Structure 1
Amino acid sequence: MTAETLALFPDSARIDDTGSLVVGGCNVRRTADQFGTPLYLYDGETLDRAVEAYRTALSRCYPGAAQIAYAAKAWLCSASARWIAAKGIGLDVVSGGELAIALHGGVPADHIHFHGNNKSDRELAQALDAGVGRIVVDHPDELARLDELAIACGRRQAIWLRVNPDVDTDTHHHTQTGHAASKFGLSLRDGTAEAVALDALRRAGVELAGLHCHIGSQLRDAEPLAVAAQRLLDLAARLRDATGWQPAELSTGGGWAVAYTAEQLADLPPVETYVARVSEAVVQRCRQHGLALPRLVLEPGRSLVARAGVAVYTVGAVKPAGDVTYAFVDGGLADNPRHALYGATYTALLANRRGDAARQRVHVAGPYCETGDVLIEDIELPPLVPGDLLAVPVSGAYQLSMASNYNAALRPAVVWLEDGQATLVQRRETLDDLLRRDLV
């Protein structure tokens, strides 16, 4: 194992004298013995440091008010919601389910932004009843429905408009969300965004507090984010000229990249690069248009939680097959579909013992009935034997939130590690859980 690989793991990670991985002061082998595998571990220290990195960057780079709002879709449970509440940051949700978990975990409703491109009336009513801080309107029909619902319950709901800034990004096409043909947001190109903003300003049930965009994920170049911010402020200037309105808040979304492999880590710009460029773009454009600086809202998800998470699997058989050798583990597609969905790359290390100097090239694959059930392709590892543990770093985002019961798999347990304490925050599913919804 190289130092570069260990750098992908949580800040607290180290290798002890026996060759075992330690995270959060807890021996991973003993933790796996206690809670079983597949197992997801989250390091509290790394989570806290990620928030502080954003706070520090904003305080250095942006002269106005600013807010961090965590994107819940990356990973949300009651424990992470409690952590969010304790850190005093905002939270973005995209469904009634995420809203319910956030509230159950103690996130103040007025810190919550409700996103989504197809909210139902039930979800809008749920958000109004809870008193969420902002509802992010995606299309004209939603604006009309929300206005009617808000008036009916005697509220004037603060909203943002999600604007499609028509910005292309160099990332996987499934995670590009700001181009002209995206399903998200109100088009700048055809004038819809401006027309809906003018409509919102005339309505009694909503208060237009700001503008929002999100252009994609795993972004390593801050320039498209800066361009998107500039285009939103150009829209704001036109609205100011027409009505006198100015945005109190401007959200440029999230999407900053994380490294999943040592090669990616070598050329990953730091968070401050992203924050500095977006801040500069906002300040310059506001100065150019004579706009007051809005509160700048950044919405990191993956870049807050991914590196804090480690997935731990137990090795079963090691099986040669033609030109490749498979190392089978007890998880895969059901708890992490990202390789199958996006071609996502990962690395792994032997977590329970010191490996031999010799190396074996393997595909790490799961037990599920899909040829695509592969976690890692063509990785060099020490020769593995049944019962070994493999730890996969950067597993904290978009794995548990995408996990399924495919092949009636039981979703894994989740353990929070901090100061030598291992706390079970989500138990492993049971067979009874699988059957609980069945009525006949």
Structure 2
Amino acid sequence: MFVSKALKVNSKNHLEIGGCDCVDLVNNFGTPLYVMDESLIRENCRIYKNALDKYYNGNGLVLYASKAFCTMAMCKIVQQEGLGLDVVSGGELYTAIKAGFPMEKVYFHGNNKTIDELELAIDNNVRRIVVDNRQELLHVNRIAAEKGKTVNISFRIKPGIDAHTHDFIRTGQIDSKFGVALENGEAMEIIGEAVKLSNVKVVGLHCHIGSQIFELAPFEEAARVMLTFIAKIKEELGIEIEELNLGGGFGIKYTQDDDPIEYDRYIKSVSEVVKSVCEDKGIKLPFIVIEPGRSIVASAGITLYRIGTIKDIKGVRKYIAVDGGMTDNPRYALYQSKYEGVIANKADAAKTEKVTIAGKCCESGDLLGKDVLLPEAEEGDILAILATGAYNYSMSSNYNRIPRPAVVLVKDGKARVIVKREDYNDIIRNDIIPEDL
């Protein structure tokens, strides 16, 4: 019935997640409200870890891509499940540090890391800095020299794979802000330069071809291209790359029309390509890293809203407005992302109307979806938007000076706040009125 197995309808005909009645959650914690199912998050972590251990005989590491949903509590769950962490900013790295996450399992990505961010990473001895470009390579080498360290690095490579996804989330093709390209020789050139530097050690390569991908072939081809390049590096430079990070991008079920690949099947299929190419090229099987993010948390999360204004424009469109919107979920405005909704206080009611869900911002593009099927809605109903565990809290903002929602973690009928709701004092906390005004 639902796009996530974390959800069910209880005896009151209310939507339930993690054993918690969504109506009770709203009464206790208010709206809008992000709700995350801890058990499903942990289950998804274990699916990846078990599959990687199984198909690579323990020769690998699953990194959680924390940009999908990053809090100190989430870092603690990931640590407890034995995964590593992929961070893409100083803020995400600092969150991991404050959560006590082991730095020997942290990989630091980003196309324009600042000097301060690089120093934070090097001071805290992250396992890997994934170098994006030549300027960054030189910065890392200089900072490491100043600190008397040798830093292990990987290079982000554009493998030239055109994944079938939204233009904004395709990253593997040559025309991308991320990484160095194979086609024009810059990847080989930068690696050749790096191996001559004194304070970095080239240990790995990384690629990421895009997000929300439902096909096996692009992942298989990316592995084939990257391993062929590793063989070429060995032949031309005489060095053996020890580690291959194949990124993430695995699709999830946002609507009933989505048909994602089972994650175990993806890892099995790609592992067969990896082993075959290594044997064919005569290279050592590298340590394999993958970086799922969305597929670990998206289906484990929902967002709860209170329905307010309802406008039925006869012969045109019916709008239902909620007390959140693009400030807590900008993905429709950015990507026209599709979601499914449920009226949580009448979860088993038939979906008889097509409506447009509007947010409360003073912005015509503040929508959560067009032509969404719902039961007939009334003011005061509780609307649940499903599969919002990834890139909703992470991308939230204070546009129109709207406070960000709370985040609660649910498990076995118990709800715990892991991010406090902002209030108006939080909104003005950093405001300053100069004395001469």
Given the two structures, how large is their TM-score scaled by the length of structure 1?
A: 0.96
Change (3 A) 1:356 1:285: closer
Cα displacement (A) at 1:149: 0.6
What letter corresponds to residue 271 of structure 2 in structure 1?
Answer: S
Matched, 1:304 2:285: no
Per-residue deviation, 1:318:
1.3
Per the alignment, residue 158 of structure 2 pairs with 164
Residue of 138, 148, 161 corresponding to 1:154: 148
Q: In the alignment, which residue of structure 2 is the partner of 1:284?
A: 276
Aligned residue in 1 for 2:34: 40
- Alignment CA distance shift 1:359-1:121 (3 Å): same
Aligned residue type for 2:300? A
Compute the displacement of 1:63 (Å): 4.0
Q: Does 1:190 align with 2:215?
A: no
Structure 2 CA distance for aligned equivalents of residues 178 and 277 of structure 1: 20
Aligned residue identity for 2:146 = A
Residue 154 of structure 2 aligns with an amino acid whose one-letter code is W
Determine whether 1:386 maps to 2:379: yes
Would you say 1:346 and 2:334 are equivalent positions? no
Q: Paired residue for 1:114, among 108, 113, 119? A: 108
CA distance in 2 between counterparts of 1:97 and 1:58 reads 29
Give the superposition deviation at 1:64. 5.7
Q: 1:136 aligns with which of 114, 122, 130?
A: 130
Q: Which moved more, 1:24-33 or 1:228-237?
A: 228-237
> Which of the numbers 356, 364, 369 marks the counterpart of 1:363?
356
Alignment correspondent of 2:48: 54
Distance 2:268 2:351 in 1: 45
Check whether the contact 1:85–1:106 (CA below 8 A) recurs between aligned residues: no
Distance 2:126 2:260 in 1: 35
1:207 aligns with 2:201: yes
1:418 to 392, 398, 411: 411
Cα distance in 2 between the residues matched to 1:180 and 1:275: 25
Match of 2:368 among 354, 371, 375: 375
Structure 1 alignment gaps of length 5 or more: none
The equivalent of 2:427 in structure 1 is 434
Name the stretch that deviates more: 11-20 or 180-189: 11-20
Find the aligned partners of 2:421 and 2:123 in 1 and give their Cα distance: 32
Corresponding pairs, count: 432
Say which of 395, 400, 408 aligns to 1:402: 395
Equivalent residues of 2:351, 2:373 under 8 A apart? no
Q: CA deviation at 1:55?
A: 2.0
Residue 358 of structure 1, CA deviation: 7.0
Alpha-carbon distance between aligned partners in 1 of 2:294 and 2:265, rounded to the nearest angstrom: 17
Cα distance change of structure 1 residues 12 and 217 upon mapping to structure 2, 3 Å threshold: closer
User: How far apart in 2 are the matches of 1:315 and 1:406?
Assistant: 20
- The farther-off stretch of 55-64 and 335-344 is 55-64
- CA offset digits 1:279-311 (Å, max 9, x no partner): 122111111111111111010010111001011
2:72 maps to which residue? Answer: 78
Q: What is the CA–CA distance in structure 2 between the aligned matches of 1:402 and 1:287, rounded to whole Å?
A: 43
Separation of aligned partners in 1, 2:388 and 2:103: 28
Query: Are 1:64 and 1:295, in contact at CA under 8 Å, matched by a contact in 2?
Result: no
Output the CA distance in 1 between the equivalents of 2:144 and 2:152: 10
Q: CA deviation at 1:249?
A: 0.9
- Secondary structure, in 3 states, of the residue corresponding to 1:378? strand
Map 1:225-244 → 2, pairs under 5 A:
225-244=219-238
| Aligned equivalents of 2:395, 2:369: Cα separation in 1 | 17
Q: What CA distance in whole angstroms lies between the structure 1 residues aligned with 2:390 and 2:308?
A: 25
Q: Distance in 2 between matches of 1:28 and 1:320?
A: 27
Q: 2 CA distance for matches of 1:47 and 1:147?
A: 37
SS at structure 1 position matched to 2:370: strand
Identity of aligned residues (%): 39
1:340 and 1:372 in contact (8 A); partners too: yes
Give the deviation of 1:51 after TM superposition: 1.0
- Does residue 66 in structure 1 map to residue 60 in structure 2? yes
Q: CA deviation at 1:244?
A: 2.9
- SS of the aligned residue for 2:346 comes to coil
**Which consecutive residues of structure 2, in runs of 5 or more, have no partner in the other structure?**
none
Does the C-alpha gap of structure 1 residues 314 and 282 become closer, same or farther in structure 2, counting only changes over 3 Å?
Answer: same
Give the aligned residue type for 1:361: K
Partner secondary structure for residue 401 of structure 1: coil
Q: Residues 135 and 158 of structure 1 are in contact (CA less than 8 Å); yes or no, is this contact kept in structure 2?
A: yes
Partners in 2 of 1:378 and 1:396 — Cα distance?
22
106, 121, 124: which one aligns with 2:118: 124
Q: Deviations over 1:87-126 (max 9, x none)?
A: 1211111111110011111211111101001111111111
Could you say what secondary structure the match of 1:163 adopts? Answer: strand
AA in 1 matched with 2:312: P
* Residues 1:358 and 1:175: Cα distance change in structure 2 (over 3 Å): closer
What is the rounded CA distance, in whole Å, between the counterparts of 2:58 and 2:233 in structure 1? 21
The letter for the 2-side match of 1:197 is I
Q: Secondary structure at the match of 2:39?
A: helix
Structure 2 contact 9–348 (Cα < 8 Å) conserved: no
Structure 1 residues 306-353: Cα deviation after superposition (integer angstroms, max 9, x where no partner): 001011111112111241111111111111010110010001111113
The alignment partner of 2:345 has SS state of: coil
Task: After TM superposition, give the deviation of residue 257 of structure 1 in Å.
Answer: 0.4
Change beyond 3 A, Cα 1:354–1:111: closer
Partners of 2:351 and 2:77 in 1: CA distance: 42
Question: Separation in 2 of the partners of 1:226 and 1:360?
Answer: 42
By how many angstroms is 1:243 displaced?
3.4
The answer for the alignment partner of 1:259 in structure 2 is 253
1:371 is displaced (CA, Å) by 1.4
Does structure 1 conserve the Cα–Cα contact (< 8 Å) formed by 2:52 and 2:58?
A: no
- Give 1:12 deviation, angstroms: 3.7
